[in-house]
Amino acid sequence: MAKKWGERLRSWMTKNMELPQDVMMDLPRITMIGQIHIYIENHRGLLGFSDKEVRLLLEHGQLLIKGNNFVIKTIMPEEILLQGTIDQVLFVAE
């Protein structure tokens, strides 16, 4: 019940105070440049990495990125910049 109340409060604050949803709702912010770069903010950690697949933990589920020739250009606690050929970006439910 406390979790639902917290979600309602965040939703109300986002709507009424004009705050960005990605910040208030713990959503990832994903910026893609064509098919060659993807920058993800507000993730919870790197779960898996190969040259064809990257899996990130999110507050609610996971983010799966598929493609080829992946290279991590920058990685910080809640941000990652990935370069390669991006074919798919998928949200995986919990």
pLDDT, one tens digit per residue, over 29-59 is 999 999 999 999 999 999 999 999 999 999 8
pLDDT (0 to 100) of residue 10: 65
Closest by CA position to 87, among listed 40, 51, 46, 62: 51
List of domains in the chain: 26-92 (2.60.40.2000)
pLDDT (0 to 100) of residue 14: 63
pLDDT (0 to 100) of residue 36: 96
Alpha helices in the chain (DSSP H): 2-17, 21-24
Q: Does the pLDDT of residue 21 top 60, yes or no?
A: no
Tokens of 72: 């991590």
